[in-house]
Structure 1
């Protein structure tokens, strides 16, 4: 799949995930786009990065989820989704969405 198609599908899935407060749309789009998980580095939640290279471009999708009951200001659990396009270390474009559950 071409990079622009992958980017559009994931960006649309971010919007749908925010609208539906669901992880299903973004997970399906990231998997269909061929992005690979780099692992979960979270301590009080989930912090997982997915990546795919397109020649000199790197597409990163960051999934962060916080269990706010374990913080100083408890509230609803929060999910942040961020899609970033990089050329080397230079950020070309970024798109994100956040929702509470």
Structure 2
């Protein structure tokens, strides 16, 4: 997969109850030039909907140029899955400092 170095695609992974931290990280990453996506904020009606939402989140992490983690999400399913496909997994601080690994 070709990585986008002009506007890198970042998947933002954070603890589910860290909405304020996720919001601040989202603003910082966008200001740094990242195109950012994060977990689906949905309330599926049934198990099939939940499976589809999780699959979409995992696919977004796998196809990102980088997965950026907040404290507590370093070993999140999205980060681990993306790493298996060679996607760099960075802390927010490293991503904002320009680390690429």
Provide TM-score, normalisation by structure 2: 0.28
More helix by share: 2
Q: Highest relative contact order (Cα 8 Å, sep 6+), 1 or 2?
A: 2
Larger gyration radius, structure 1 or structure 2 = 1
When you count strand as a share of all residues, which structure comes out higher? 1
